[in-house]
Amino acid sequence: MMDFWIKAAQLLLSLAILVTIHEFGHYLAARAFKIRVEKFYLFFDPWFSLLKKKIGDTEWGIGWLPLGGYVKIAGMVDESMDKDQMALPPKDDEFRSKPAWQRLIVMVAGVVVNIIAGFLIYILVVSAWGTDSLTNDSLKYGIAVNKNFNELNLGIEDGDLITAVDGETVENAQLVNLQVFLRGYRELEVLKPSGEKKIIILDKDINDWMWENDAVMAFTARMPTIVDSVMQNRDAFKKGLSKGDSIVSINGVATPFFHDLQAQLAKQEGDSTLATVGLYRNGEYKELDVYTDANKTIGFQPNRPEWLEATHTDYTFGESITKGMEKAGWTMHDYLAQLPLILTAKGAQSVGGFGAIGSLFPPAWDWQVFWANTAFISLVLAIMNILPIPALDGGHIMFLLYEMITGKEAPQKVLEYAQLIGFVVLMTLFLYANGNDVYRAFFQ
């Protein structure tokens, strides 16, 4: 239970920081153009607020509903749906009285601040903690090829090493899957155990195939199966599977490496079937009959071998700027590349809410992970907010661009209805995403 609260605290702090700076971006831009800001709230305050204080024209406060935050800008159709104010003649210090280009800057400012924050935090994370990369020298047994990917018979096999992608030397083997799946890299230089080198050219649409055939993680480190921890609610725990056990076979079939074990378990028929697990414990061979689950797993985490060590690199602050900006840029690219997948049936099932975001954080407080995740979430918030959905910044920007192009403002009623529809759409997505979290937590 303590693990849950530590993760929740990290998520809440991260969102509080990012929501505040996002709304502060809107606030600063509005004040720069002498637009009155009536409210600035961290979290929402339906019916009542936890804290509030009026300073000048602005009420500053903290709401009780931690689903975001807002600034209420005078003379603007927003989530407050303040129709009474909009029915009055416009005042000089209201949003609607300002030129379209000024209103556009006000609406873009929140997203811009989130992007700047994401880049800056990544730079500081690299400067403070450096980076870790998995070089090919650490892959003692080479790579393991996803069983579905292997069916393509492209010439990449278990035990190989991928030494270059599109002519770039592989410095971090953990990035190869991203480079193929999301970044469009299509030429792989493969080193065979015999010393032979081969060039493999992948199909231009290989990423779509990888998604549909559960081969996104096409290449992983090939390693023996040593048990690190066993899930206490699983049959394997009840049967005595223990930390340090070396699993070598399933149903009498040798599984020298972890991916061999996964492939053999995948052949089990039915949602819950008995598998004979052969293992060595303190040099003695044993067999355990263990039930699998619907996902064809027996409920343990493998141990990461000592030889599979990441190479750590520290950077000067100047070097951190380049490295941090590169990290932030690729993070935005990769997230944008994944967005279309949400529109697929498989992608819709993988959408998550607060539970999925919270799972990014470790059960023990780790400032490096906290700030790296905060940078990632900041960039994600920027991308999501710029989407042309009414009720989001992108929706307001869409109507402002229409006004700037046509020279005519969108009718007030259209803005009000669009805001209402956008709110309904967002709440539906919110309930669906968090419903997926609940389903995965209790029914999978």
Q: Residue 67 in contact with residue 44, Cβ under 8 Å?
A: yes
Domain stops at, among 285, 302, 319:
302
Instruction: Looking at the structure, tell me whether residues 44 and 117 fall in a common domain.
Output: yes
Mean pLDDT of 324-328: 97
The enclosing domain of 261 has a CATH number of 2.30.42.10
What pLDDT sits at residue 86? 67
**Per-residue model confidence (pLDDT) at position 435:** 75
In a domain, 308, yes or no: no
Give the span between the Cα atoms of 411 and 396, in whole angstroms: 13
Residue 324 within any structural domain of the chain: no
Cβ neighbors of 46 (< 8 A, separation 6 or more) are: 63, 65
pLDDT of the residue at 442: 58
Distances (CA, A) of 244 to 187, 248, 286, 302, 305: 39, 13, 13, 9, 11
- What is the domain range of residue 41? 1-129+367-443
What are the tokens at 291? 């039930």
In this structure, the number of other CB atoms found within 10 A of the CB of residue 428 comes to 10
The mean pLDDT of the chain is: 89
Mean pLDDT of 118-143: 96
Token look-up 């559960």 returns: 214
CB atoms < 10 A from the CB of 93, how many? Answer: 16
Question: Is residue 149 assigned to a domain?
Answer: yes
Question: Is residue 278 assigned to a domain?
Answer: yes
Burial of 295 (C-beta count, 10 Å sphere; 0-12/13-18/19+): exposed
CA atoms within 13 A on the CB side of 107: 28
In percent, how much of the chain has pLDDT > 70?
Answer: 95
| In the predicted structure, residue 390 carries a pLDDT above the cut 90 | no
Task: Say whether both 2 and 125 belong to one domain.
Answer: yes
Length of the chain: 444
Looking at the domain assignment, is residue 33 inside a domain? yes
Residue where a domain stops, chosen among 302, 317, 347: 302
Q: What is the pLDDT of residues 235-288, one digit of tens each?
A: 889 999 999 999 999 999 999 999 999 989 988 887 788 889 999 999 999 999
User: In what helix (H) or strand (E) does residue 412 lie, and over which residues does it extend?
Assistant: helix 412-443
Predicted confidence (pLDDT) at residue 214 exceeds the cutoff of 60: yes
Do 105 and 175 lie in one domain? The reply is: no
> How many Å apart are CA 122 and CA 325, to the nearest integer?
7
Mean pLDDT of the region 368-378: 95
Q: In sequence order, what DSSP letters do the residues of 175-221 get, joined into one string?
A: GHHHHHHTS---EEEEE-TTS-EEEEEPPTTHHHHHHHTT-SS-EEE
Residue 246 to residue 418: CA distance in whole angstroms: 60
- Please give the C-alpha separations between residue 328 and each of 23, 127, 375, 378, 425, in angstroms, as whole numbers: 21, 14, 8, 10, 29
pLDDT of residue 61: 93
82-91: per-residue pLDDT in tens? 566 666 777 8
The residue written with tokens 């609607």 in the block is 96
pLDDT tens per residue, range 156-174: 999 999 999 999 999 999 9
Verify that 111 and 37 share a domain, yes or no.
yes
In the structure encoding, which two tokens stand for residue 338, read together? 């994944």
- The total number of structural domains in the chain stands at 3
Q: Say which CATH number the domain at 150 has.
A: 2.30.42
pLDDT of residue 424: 81
Cα separation, 61 vs 65, in Å, equals: 12
Helix (H, G, I), strand (E, B) or coil at 232: coil
Residue 305 or 443, more confident: 305
pLDDT tens, 16-53?
999 999 999 999 999 999 999 999 999 888 888 899 99
If asked whether residues 215 and 142 sit together in one domain, one would say: yes
Find all residues with CB under 8 Å of 187, minimum gap 6, and list them: 165, 166, 167, 199, 200, 201, 202
* Strands annotated E in 310-444: 311-313
* Residue, of 201 and 442, whose pLDDT is higher: 201
Count the helix, strand and coil residues of the chain and give each as a percent rounded to the nearest 5. 45, 20, 30
